C-alpha cells in the first residue's frame, strides 16, 4: 500500500462526494416533475411520448398497478431481446456475419440484461451483431437501469407522503429516468470516452498485419456509447469480452476514474434524493455514510491483500504484490478499487480478473455481493436494498427504545416485516441452493476450472453474482453450458423480481400510513449511532448466512495457501 | 392483590408446577404457536429417531449424539419452562381471585317493591335484571346502581380494604360482581352476564388464557421465522459444499449448528415476556383488556391528564380573603364563613378553616341562627345563607355581580352615593378577580344584602414532584396536555406552575374528543384517563383509555384499561410498562442474533476440521475437541434461556434519557454483550465438560 495509492482512492471518494449534492438536487427536481435546465428541450419530447403511449402523466398508480406495469415491461424486454439474438443472422447491422445465438445462451443473456445483471456467458465481439448490441443490449442497459431508479424513487415517495394511495406512475418514472438522467449524461460521457480514444463506429472489424507478418482482426464497434451506459447504469456488460480491462474499453487512468465514478454516481446521489424528498438531507447522508464505512472497509482489505501478495511467491524471491490478472496500466491500487466498486455497486464491469486476486482480496467482492449489493448498489436496486435492511435494523432498534418501530415517522409493522424478510430471504435462496446443487452435480462440477477451494469459489461467485444481479465473473468457470445458462438465469430473475415486488409492496403500505411526528422518544436516524446500527445489521443479518460457504471457499483457500498449497 | 403480594421469581410454588408444565407444553398444538421452538422440537424428534436407529444398528459416537439430543430437548423444555413460570405468576393471582368468587345468591326483584324478590343463583342472572343487594350480601354480578347508596368492600378486586361508597347517578354508580355491600342497600341493574363479568375477565387476563399476540409480537415473530428460514438454507446447503471438498458432515452436527444459529433465545422467551408485561400491569393494579393496549401505551405521544386530582390536589383551597375598599378582611371572612358553614364541598370547608386560622372566627351553629342554607345550583352558580333577614351569597364572580346588579334585594335607604360606591366596588372587584385568575387562582365573590364585600381566593395546589414527572415525560418524548374546566387564564397559570406542555381550558366532552381526534390526525397516539359517563366517548377514541375503577360502567366499557386504584397519575407508569415490554423484546432479539457470531466460531472449525484442518485457526476460543466445541455451543444455547428468564420476567429497565442515549446503551449491553458473552460462556462450558470428561 502506497501513499500514492491512497491518494488515488481519496481522489475517487472526493469526486464522488462532491457529485452527490448537485446530482441529487437535479434528480429530485426531475422526479418531482419540476422544471430543470433541460426542460425546454425535453418536455416536448416527454409529452410526445406520453401522447403516443396514451399515458396520463398525472395519473398515479397503486403499488400493485405499478408492479404489474413494471413486470410486464420487463417481460416484454426479455422476449424482444431473446428474439433479437435468435434472429440476428438475418437482421441488418451485422458486418461480422454473426450467427444466431443458441437458445440457452439467448435466454441467459436476455434475462441477464433485463435484470441489470449483465452476466456474460459469451464474448461480445465474437457472438453479438451490432444490432443486437445497440438495439437490444444497450436499450436494456438503459431501461433496466431506469427500472431500478423508478423503484427507488417510488420507495422514496412512500416515505415522503402520508396517507397516500399511490406511489407514482411507473411509465412516467421510467421515462423521466431515461430521458432526463441517463440519456443526457450518456451523451456527454460518450463524447468524453471518444475523446479519450474509445472507438465509436458502425464500420467492420479492422484487419491488421502484425510486425511478424501475421494477420490480426481488431474488433471495433459502437463501444463508447455502450460503455457510457454500462457504467452509469451499473450494467457492467462489456462490449468486448475483456470488459474494462480491454484498452479500447478503458484506455487510461482518466477513463478508469470516470468509469469508477460513473458506477457510483447515481446510486450515491439517490441517497441525497431520499434526504431531500423526506425533508432532511442528513437522513440521506447517514445512509451514504453507512455504505461508505462498509465500502472503505472492503477497499482496505482488498488493497491490503493484493499488495501483500502471495507469501509463496515471496519465498522464491518474487517480491511485491499480486499482479496476476491485472492490467499494468491500472496496477494494484486501481484494480483493487475497481473490483470493490464494481461488486459493491452491482455493476459487474471489471478491469482485472477477480479470480486471480488473492483469496482474501477476492473474498471482499464475494461478500459485497452477498450482502445484497447495498453498498451504493445497482442504480436504484442498491437503494431499495438498503431500505430493506433499514427496516430490519430499525425494527429491532426501535423495540429497544420502547416504541413500535418507526422510520421517518412511518411505523414498521407486520406487513413491512413480512415483505422485507421475504426479499432478504431471496438472496440466500438463489445463491446457496444453486451452489449446493451445482457442487454435487457432476456436469456442473465439470465446468470448474481450478481444483480445491478455489474451484468452489468459482461456483459460489457465479451464483452470487447472478442472484445479486452483479454480472461480474470470477473467471475459470465455463459458464456457457445449458445447466449454468438456465440456472444462472433463474438466479438472476429471483434476485431481481422477488426483491422488487416485496419492495414495492412495502412502498405501497408505507405510503398509506400516517406520518408520526418525531419526538424525544424517537431515536435519531441521521447520526453515527444509526450508521453503526445499520452497518452491523447488514453484516450480521446479510453476512452470517454465508459464513459456512465463505469458510469453505476463500477463507480456507487463504489458510491453505499460507500452509504452502496453491490451486 | 396489592403490589407486595406479587410472587417472586424463585417461589417454589411457581417453579415446581412449571417443571411439570414444561413437559405438558410439548403438545405439538401448543408448540405450533411459537414457530422457532416448533422447528427445534421437530428437528429434535428427527435426531432422536436417528439416534435410536444408530443405537440399534450400532453407530459411531453414540455418547456424543446422545448428549446433543438431550440438549436439543432441553432447549425446548427450557422454553416451555420459561412460559410456564411466567404463566405461573398469573395463575397464583388468578387462584386468589377465584377464592373470592363465591357462588353468590342473588335477590332478583320481581316487582317494584324492594322487598318482593326471589332468590336465584348469581350465575343465572341476565343482563338488565334488577336485583336488590343488602348489607352483608355479595353483589352477584357487575351492574349499575339505579337506586340507593351503600358502602361496598371492594378488597376482592382492588386489595384495598377501606370501603367505598357506591350510589345511583353520578360517577360512582358501577358495582363489581364479587364485592360485598357492608351497609345499606342498593338496587342494581345487571350489566354483565355470568362468565363475562369483570372478575371473570380479570381471572382470564392474569392467567394469560386470553392472551393474543400483539402487533409488534407478530411482526417480531415474522422476523424470527424469516431468520430461521435463512439458517435452514445456510445449514442445509453445507453437506453438498462439504461433499465438493471431499468430506461429509454428520446430521447431528448440522442440527446442532442449525439450532444454535436460529434465534432460540428470543424465540423461547417471547411469550414469557408478553405474559410478564401484562402481569406487571396487574401488579400495578391496572387491568389491560388487551395486550395491544399495553403495547400502544409504550407508543403514546400525547398524554391528556385531568387537572383535578392528577396535577393538582383534588380540591381547591381558600388561601386569602380580598375585601373591596371600605370592608375589612374580618368582615369578609365572617360573611364568607357564614355562607360556607353548611357548604360541605371541600372548597366550602377550606373557607371555614381559613377564617378560623386567620381571623379566629369560630364555627357557629346554623340552627341557633335560624339560618337557611341556599345550596349551589348549576343555574344560580351561587350558594349562600339567609338568616335574620340578611342574605349572604358567594359564588362565581359574574354570577354574584349579576345578582348584585339585578338588585335582588333592594335595601331600604340606598342612596345615590351608595350605588356610586357600588359601581366603584364592582371595578375594584373585577381588578382583584383578574389578578387572582392570572395567578392561577379561582375567585369567589361574596356579597351581603346586595353589597359586594370582596373576593375569596381559592387556589389549586399543584402536587409535589409533579413538575419533575412532566419533565421526565418530556424526555421520554411524551407531550402532556392538562384538561380543565377552568377559564384559559387560570388554566395557563396552573399549566405553567405544573410544567405541562399544553392545556385545554373550559373543557367539555366535545372539545376533549375533538382534541384527541386532532392529535390522532397528526399521527400521534393519545392516552387519557377518565371516570365519568361523559368521558366515555373520549376514552373510546383515545388509543389508550384508562378508566377509573370508581367510574361509571360506561367509562369502564369504553376504556381499554381499568385502574383499580383509580389513580390517574398511574398513566405514567402504564406508559413505562408498555415501553419496558417492547424494550425487553428488542434487547433479547439483539442478544440472540449477536450470539450467532461466537457460535459460528465454535462450530465451523469443528465441523470442517476433518477435511480442512487449516480451519482450526478459526477456533479462536481454543475449544478442546471438535465434539466438545459443538456440545459447548448447544449447551450454552440452552442454558442462556434459563439464565435470561429473570430478565424477561422483570423486563429491561426503561430510562428517560432520550431515545438516542437509550439505544446506544442497550446496543452496548445487548448487542456488544451479545457478541462477547457467548465466547466466554462457550469457553467456560468447554472447560467444564472437558474436565468432567463428557466430550
pLDDT in tens, A535-567: 999 998 877 889 999 999 999 999 988 888 777
Q: Which of A389-398, A550-559, B106-115 has the lowest mean pLDDT?
A: B106-115
In whole angstroms, what is the distance from residue A522 CA to residue B299 CA?
10
CB contact under 8 A, A548 and B524: no
Does residue B490 or residue B228 have the better pLDDT?
B228
pLDDT of amino acid B5 = 42
- Mean pLDDT, range A42-53, rounded to an integer: 93
Q: Which of A33-42, A169-178, B289-298, B670-679 has the lowest mean pLDDT?
A: B289-298
Among chain A residues, the shortest Cα distance to B243 is held by A440
A401 interfacial to chain B (CB closer than 8 Å): yes
DSSP 3-state percent helix, strand, coil across chain B (nearest 5): 55, 15, 30
Calculate Rg over the CA atoms of chain B: 34
Q: Which of A371, A403, A426, A452 to mutate to test the interface with B (most CBs of B within 10 A)?
A: A403
A417/chain B closest Cα distance in angstroms: 6
CB contact under 8 A, A402 and B590: no
In whole angstroms, what is the distance from residue A272 CA to residue A285 CA?
7
In whole angstroms, what is the distance from residue B548 CA to residue B561 CA?
9
CB contact under 8 A, B579 and A403: yes
In whole angstroms, what is the distance from residue A463 CA to residue B503 CA?
62
On chain B, the residues whose CB falls within 8 A of the CB of A429 are 233
On chain B, the residues whose CB falls within 8 A of the CB of A416 are 219
A521 interfacial to chain B (CB closer than 8 Å): yes
Identify whether the C-beta of residue A194 lies closer than 8 Å to the C-beta of residue A258.
no
pLDDT of amino acid B409 = 43
Query: Dihedrals φ, ψ of B326, to 5°?
Result: 90, 0
On chain B, the residues whose CB falls within 8 A of the CB of A428 are 230, 233-234
CB contact under 8 A, A445 and B219: no
Among chain A residues, the shortest Cα distance to B235 is held by A548
3 state SS of B77: helix
**Which of B244, B604, B667 has the CB atom closest to A547's CB atom?**
B604
CA angle A230, A288, A254 (to 5 degrees): 40
Mean pLDDT, chain B, whole residue set:
84
A163 interfacial to chain B (CB closer than 8 Å): no
CB contact under 8 A, A551 and B663: no
**DSSP of A420-486, one letter per residue?**
HHHHHHHHHIIIIIHHHHHTT-HHHHTT--S-HHHHHHHHHHHHHHHHTT-----SSS---SHHHHH
pLDDT of amino acid B421 = 63
**DSSP of A484-542, one letter per residue?**
HHHHHHHHHHHHHHHHHHHHHHHHHHHHTSPPPPP-TTSPPSSSHHHHHHHHHHIIIII
Q: Which residues pair with B482 in a beta bridge?
A: B305, B503
**Which of A533, A548, A552 has the CB atom closest to B234's CB atom?**
A548
pLDDT of amino acid A102 = 93
On chain B, the residues whose CB falls within 8 A of the CB of A371 are none
pLDDT of amino acid B101 = 65
A254 interfacial to chain B (CB closer than 8 Å): no
pLDDT of amino acid B593 = 92
- Mean pLDDT, range B393-404, rounded to an integer: 84
- Mean pLDDT, range A411-429, rounded to an integer: 92
On chain A, the residues whose CB falls within 8 A of the CB of B659 are 401, 403, 520-524
On chain B, the residues whose CB falls within 8 A of the CB of A560 are 612, 614
pLDDT of amino acid B414 = 43
3 state SS of B525: coil
pLDDT of amino acid A10 = 96
Q: Which residues pair with A218 in a beta bridge?
A: A206
- Mean pLDDT, range A45-73, rounded to an integer: 93
On chain B, the residues whose CB falls within 8 A of the CB of A440 are 240, 243-244
A191 interfacial to chain B (CB closer than 8 Å): no
The alpha-helical segments, DSSP class H, found in A161-252 are 170-176, 183-196, 223-232
Q: Which of A363, A390, A393, A401 to mutate to test the interface with B (most CBs of B within 10 A)?
A: A401
A550/chain B closest Cα distance in angstroms: 10
A272/chain B closest Cα distance in angstroms: 23
CB contact under 8 A, A559 and B617: yes
A325 interfacial to chain B (CB closer than 8 Å): no
pLDDT band at B162 (very low <50, low <70, confident <90, very high): confident
3 state SS of B327: coil
On chain B, the residues whose CB falls within 8 A of the CB of A455 are 244
Count helices and strands in chain B by DSSP H and E runs? 25, 20
CB contact under 8 A, A414 and B215: yes
Predicted TM-score (pTM) of the model is 0.86
Residue B75 DSSP symbol: H
The answer on pLDDT for B76 being more than 90 is yes
The answer on pLDDT for A105 being more than 90 is yes
The answer on pLDDT for B208 being more than 70 is no
A520 interfacial to chain B (CB closer than 8 Å): yes
On chain A, the residues whose CB falls within 8 A of the CB of B238 are 548
Does residue A251 or residue B199 have the better pLDDT?
A251
pLDDT band at B673 (very low <50, low <70, confident <90, very high): very high
CB contact under 8 A, B295 and A404: yes
* Contacts for B569 with CB less than 8 Å, ≥ 6 apart: B310, B463, B466, B469
pLDDT digits 0-9 by tens, B602-661: 999 999 988 889 899 999 999 999 999 999 999 999 999 999 999 999 999 888 888 889
Identify whether the C-beta of residue A494 lies closer than 8 Å to the C-beta of residue A372.
no
CB contact under 8 A, A529 and B594: no
**Which of B233, B244, B654 has the CB atom closest to A433's CB atom?**
B233
On chain B, the residues whose CB falls within 8 A of the CB of A435 are 237, 241
- Mean pLDDT, range B588-601, rounded to an integer: 93
Q: Which of B36, B218, B236, B240 to mutate to test the interface with A (most CBs of A within 10 A)?
A: B240
pLDDT digits 0-9 by tens, A145-187: 999 999 999 999 999 888 888 999 999 999 999 999 999 999 9
A370 interfacial to chain B (CB closer than 8 Å): no
A549 interfacial to chain B (CB closer than 8 Å): yes
Residue B475 DSSP symbol: H
In whole angstroms, what is the distance from residue A233 CA to residue A266 CA?
8
pLDDT digits 0-9 by tens, B357-377: 888 888 777 677 777 888 877
Q: Provide the grid cell at B241.
A: 459444499
CB contact under 8 A, B612 and A552: yes
CB contact under 8 A, B586 and A453: no
**H-helix or E-strand spanning residue B302:** strand B302-306
A441 interfacial to chain B (CB closer than 8 Å): no
In whole angstroms, what is the distance from residue A269 CA to residue A284 CA?
9
The answer on pLDDT for B410 being more than 60 is no
The answer on pLDDT for B21 being more than 70 is yes
Q: Which residue has the cell 444408530?
A: B54
pLDDT of amino acid A11 = 96
In whole angstroms, what is the distance from residue A486 CA to residue A444 CA?
12
On chain B, the residues whose CB falls within 8 A of the CB of A434 are none
Write out the catalytic residue numbers of B.
306
A499/chain B closest Cα distance in angstroms: 15
A539 interfacial to chain B (CB closer than 8 Å): no
Going from the C-alpha of B138 to that of each of A322, B103, B112, B122, B621, the distances in angstroms are 90, 9, 21, 10, 67
**What share of chain B in percent tops pLDDT 90?**
28
Mean pLDDT, chain A, whole residue set:
92
In whole angstroms, what is the distance from residue B513 CA to residue B551 CA?
18
Size of interface A-B (CB pairs under 8 A): 214
pLDDT of amino acid A147 = 95
pLDDT digits 0-9 by tens, A469-505: 998 888 788 888 999 999 999 999 999 999 999 999 9
CB contact under 8 A, A395 and B220: yes
Query: Dihedrals φ, ψ of A530, to 5°?
Result: -65, -40
A421/chain B closest Cα distance in angstroms: 6
CB contact under 8 A, B478 and A519: yes
Q: Which residue has the cell 353589597?
A: B451
pLDDT digits 0-9 by tens, A109-151: 999 999 999 998 888 788 999 899 888 998 999 999 999 999 9
**Which of B227, B586, B658 has the CB atom closest to A399's CB atom?**
B586
- From chain A residues 459-488, the ones with a CB under 8 A of any chain B CB are 459
B649/chain A closest Cα distance in angstroms: 16
On chain A, the residues whose CB falls within 8 A of the CB of B668 are none
**Which of A400, A416, A527 has the CB atom closest to B583's CB atom?**
A400
The answer on pLDDT for A257 being more than 90 is yes
Amino acid at each position: 500500500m502506497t501513499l500514492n495509492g491512497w491518494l488515488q482512492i481519496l481522489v475517487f471518494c472526493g469526486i464522488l462526494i462532491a457529485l452527490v449534492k448537485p446530482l441529487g438536487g437535479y434528480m429530485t427536481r426531475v422526479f418531482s416533475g419540476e422544471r430543470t435546465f433541460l426542460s425546454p428541450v425535453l418536455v416536448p419530447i416527454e409529452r410526445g411520448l406520453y401522447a403516443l403511449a396514451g399515458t396520463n402523466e398525472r395519473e398515479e398508480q397503486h403499488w400493485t398497478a405499478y408492479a404489474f406495469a413494471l413486470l410486464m415491461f420487463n417481460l416484454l424486454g426479455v422476449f424482444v431481446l431473446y428474439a433479437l439474438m435468435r434472429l440476428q443472422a438475418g437482421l441488418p447491422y451485422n458486418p461480422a456475419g454473426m450467427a444466431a445465438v443458441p437458445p440457452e445462451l439467448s435466454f441467459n443473456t436476455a434475462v441477464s440484461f433485463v435484470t441489470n445483471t449483465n452476466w456474460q456467458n459469451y464474448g461480445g465481439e465474437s457472438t453479438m451483431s451490432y444490432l443486437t448490441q445497440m438495439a437490444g443490449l444497450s436499450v436494456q442497459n438503459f431501461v433496466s437501469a431506469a427500472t431500478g431508479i423508478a423503484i427507488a424513487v417510488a420507495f422514496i415517495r412512500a416515505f415522503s407522503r402520508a396517507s397516500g394511495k399511490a406511489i407514482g406512475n411507473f411509465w412516467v418514472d421510467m421515462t423521466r429516468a431515461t430521458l432526463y438522467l441517463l440519456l443526457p449524461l450518456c451523451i456527454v460521457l460518450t463524447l468524453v470516452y471518444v475523446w479519450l480514444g474509445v472507438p465509436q463506429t458502425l464500420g467492420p472489424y479492422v484487419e491488421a498485419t502484425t510486425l511478424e507478418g501475421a494477420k490480426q482482426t481488431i474488433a471495433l464497434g459502437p463501444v463508447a456509447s455502450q460503455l457510457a451506459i454500462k457504467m452509469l447504469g451499473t450494467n457492467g456488460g462489456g462490449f468486448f469480452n475483456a470488459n474494462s480491462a480491454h484498452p479500447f474499453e478503458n484506455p487510461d487512468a482518466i477513463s478508469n476514474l470516470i468509469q469508477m465514478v460513473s458506477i457510483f454516481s447515481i446510486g450515491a446521489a439517490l441517497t441525497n434524493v431520499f434526504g431531500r424528498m423526506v425533508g432532511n438531507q442528513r437522513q440521506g447522508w447517514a445512509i451514504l455514510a453507512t455504505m461508505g464505512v462498509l465500502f472503505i472497509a472492503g477497499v482496505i482489505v482488498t488493497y491490503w491483500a493484493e499488495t501483500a501478495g502471495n507469501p509463496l511467491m515471496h519465498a522464491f524471491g518474487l517480491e511485491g504484490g499480486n499482479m496476476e490478472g491485472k492490467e499494468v496500466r491500472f496496477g494494484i491500487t486501481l484494480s483493487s478499487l475497481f473490483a470493490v466498486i464494481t461488486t459493491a455497486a452491482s455493476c459487474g464491469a471489471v478491469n482485472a480478473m477477480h479470480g486471480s486476486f488473492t483469496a482474501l482480496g477476492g473474498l471482499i467482492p464475494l461478500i459485497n455481493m452477498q450482502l445484497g449489493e447495498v453498498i451504493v448498489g445497482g442504480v436504484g436496486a442498491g437503494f431499495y436494498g438498503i431500505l430493506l435492511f433499514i427496516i430490519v435494523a430499525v425494527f429491532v432498534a426501535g423495540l429497544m427504545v420502547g416504541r413500535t418501530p418507526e422510520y421517518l415517522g412511518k411505523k414498521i409493522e407486520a406487513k413491512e416485516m413480512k415483505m422485507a424478510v421475504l426479499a432478504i430471504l431471496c438472496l440466500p435462496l438463489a445463491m446457496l441452493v444453486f451452489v449446493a446443487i451445482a457442487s454435487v452435480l457432476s456436469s456442473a462440477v465439470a465446468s470448474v476450472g481450478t481444483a480445491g477451494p478455489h474451484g468452489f469459489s468459482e461456483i459460489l461467485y457465479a451464483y452470487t453474482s447472478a442472484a445479486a444481479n452483479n454480472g461480474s465473473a470470477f473467471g475459470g468457470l465455463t459458464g456457457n453450458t445449458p445447466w449454468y445458462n438456465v440456472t444462472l438465469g433463474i438466479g438472476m430473475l429471483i434476485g431481481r423480481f422477488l426483491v422488487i415486488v416485496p419492495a414495492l409492496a412495502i412502498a405501497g403500505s408505507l405510503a398509506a400510513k400516517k406520518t408520526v411526528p418525531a419526538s424525544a422518544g424517537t431515536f435519531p436516524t441521521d447520526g453515527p449511532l444509526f450508521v453503526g446500527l445499520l452497518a452491523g445489521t447488514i453484516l450480521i443479518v446479510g453476512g452470517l448466512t454465508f459464513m459456512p460457504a465463505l469458510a469453505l471457499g476463500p477463507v480456507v483457500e487463504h489458510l491453505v495457501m499460507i500452509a504452502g498449497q496453491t490451486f | 392483590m396489592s403490589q407486595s403480594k406479587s410472587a417472586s421469581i424463585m417461589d417454589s410454588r411457581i417453579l415446581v408446577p412449571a417443571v411439570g408444565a414444561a413437559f405438558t407444553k410439548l403438545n405439538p398444538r401448543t408448540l405450533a404457536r411459537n414457530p422457532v421452538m416448533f422447528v427445534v422440537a421437530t428437528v429434535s424428534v428427527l435426531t432422536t429417531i436417528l439416534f435410536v436407529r444408530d443405537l440399534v444398528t450400532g453407530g459411531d459416537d453414540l455418547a456424543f449424539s446422545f448428549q446433543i439430543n438431550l440438549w436439543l430437548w432441553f432447549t425446548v423444555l427450557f422454553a416451555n419452562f420459561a412460559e410456564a413460570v411466567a404463566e405461573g405468576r398469573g395463575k397464583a393471582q388468578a387462584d386468589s381471585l377465584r377464592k373470592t368468587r363465591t357462588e353468590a345468591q342473588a335477590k332478583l326483584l320481581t316487582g317494584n317493591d324492594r322487598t318482593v324478590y326471589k332468590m336465584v343463583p348469581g350465575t343465572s342472572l341476565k343482563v338488565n335484571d334488577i336485583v336488590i343487594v343488602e348489607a352483608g350480601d355479595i353483589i352477584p354480578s357487575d351492574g349499575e346502581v339505579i337506586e340507593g347508596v351503600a358502602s361496598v368492600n371492594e378488597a376482592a378486586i382492588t386489595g384495598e380494604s377501606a370501603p367505598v361508597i357506591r350510589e345511583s347517578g353520578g360517577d360512582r354508580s358501577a358495582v363489581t360482581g364479587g364485592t360485598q355491600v357492608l351497609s345499606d342497600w342498593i338496587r342494581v341493574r345487571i350489566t354483565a352476564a355470568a362468565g363475562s363479568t369483570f372478575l371473570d375477565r380479570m381471572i382470564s387476563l392474569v392467567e394469560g388464557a386470553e392472551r393474543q399476540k400483539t402487533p409488534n409480537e407478530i411482526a417480531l415473530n415474522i422476523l424470527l421465522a424469516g431468520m430461521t428460514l435463512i439458517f435452514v438454507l445456510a445449514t442445509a446447503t453445507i453437506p453438498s459444499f462439504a461433499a465438493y471438498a471431499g468430506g461429509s458432515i454428520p446430521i447431528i452436527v448440522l442440527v446442532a449448528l442449525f439450532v444454535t444459529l436460529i434465534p432460540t433465545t428470543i424465540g423461547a422467551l417471547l411469550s414469557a415476556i408478553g405474559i410478564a408485561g401484562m402481569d406487571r400491569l396487574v401488579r400495578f393494579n391496572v387491568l389491560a383488556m388487551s395486550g395491544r393496549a399495553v403495547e400502544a401505551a409504550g407508543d403514546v405521544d400525547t398524554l391528556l391528564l385531568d387537572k383535578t386530582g392528577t396535577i393538582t390536589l383534588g380540591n381547591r383551597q381558600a388561601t386569602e380573603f380580598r375585601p373591596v375598599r371600605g370592608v375589612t378582611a374580618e368582615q369578609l371572612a365572617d360573611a364568607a364563613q357564614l355562607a360556607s358553614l353548611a357548604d360541605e364541598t371541600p372548597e366550602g370547608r377550606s373557607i371555614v378553616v381559613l377564617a378560623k386560622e386567620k381571623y379566629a372566627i369560630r364555627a357557629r351553629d346554623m340552627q341557633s341562627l335560624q339560618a337557611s342554607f341556599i345550596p349551589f345550583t348549576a343555574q344560580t352558580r351561587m350558594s349562600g345563607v339567609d338568616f335574620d333577614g340578611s342574605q349572604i351569597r358567594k359564588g362565581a364572580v359574574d354570577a354574584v355581580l349579576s345578582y348584585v346588579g339585578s338588585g335582588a334585594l333592594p335595601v331600604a335607604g340606598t342612596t345615590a352615593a351608595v350605588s356610586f360606591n357600588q359601581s366603584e366596588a364592582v371595578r375594584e372587584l373585577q381588578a382583584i378577580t383578574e389578578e387572582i385568575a392570572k395567578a392561577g387562582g379561582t375567585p369567589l365573590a361574596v356579597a351581603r344584602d346586595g353589597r359586594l364585600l370582596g373576593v375569596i381566593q381559592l387556589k389549586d395546589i399543584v402536587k409535589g414532584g409533579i413538575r419533575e414527572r412532566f419533565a421526565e415525560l418530556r424526555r421520554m418524548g411524551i407531550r402532556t396536555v392538562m384538561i380543565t374546566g377552568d377559564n384559559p387564564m387560570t388554566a395557563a397559570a396552573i399549566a405553567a406552575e405544573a410544567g405541562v406542555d399544553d392545556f385545554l381550558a373550559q373543557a367539555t366532552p366535545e372539545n376533549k374528543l375533538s382534541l384527541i381526534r386532532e392529535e390522532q390526525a397528526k399521527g400521534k397516539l393519545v392516552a387519557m384517563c377518565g371516570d365519568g359517563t361523559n368521558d366515555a366517548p373520549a376514552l373510546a377514541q383515545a388509543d389508550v383509555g384508562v378508566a377509573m375503577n370508581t367510574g361509571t360502567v360506561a367509562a369502564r366499557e369504553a376504556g381499554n384499561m381499568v385502574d383499580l386504584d383509580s389513580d390517574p397519575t398511574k398513566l405514567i407508569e402504564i406508559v413505562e410498562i408498555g415501553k419496558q415490554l417492547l424494550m425487553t423484546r428488542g434487547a433479547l432479539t439483539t442478544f440472540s442474533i449477536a450470539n450467532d457470531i461466537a457460535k459460528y466460531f465454535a462450530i465451523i472449525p469443528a465441523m470442517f476440521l476433518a477435511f480442512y484442518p487449516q480451519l482450526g485457526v478459526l477456533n479462536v476460543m481454543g475449544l478442546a475437541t471438535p465434539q466438545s466445541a459443538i456440545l459447548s455451543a448447544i449447551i450454552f444455547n440452552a442454558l442462556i434461556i434459563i439464565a435470561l428468564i429473570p430478565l424477561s420476567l422483570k423486563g429491561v429497565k426503561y430510562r428517560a434519557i432520550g431515545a438516542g442515549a437509550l439505544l446506544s446503551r442497550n446496543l452496548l449491553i445487548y448487542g456488544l454483550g451479545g457478541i462477547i458473552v457467548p465466547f466466554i460462556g462457550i469457553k467456560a462450558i468447554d472447560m467444564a465438560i472437558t474436565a468432567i470428561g463428557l466430550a
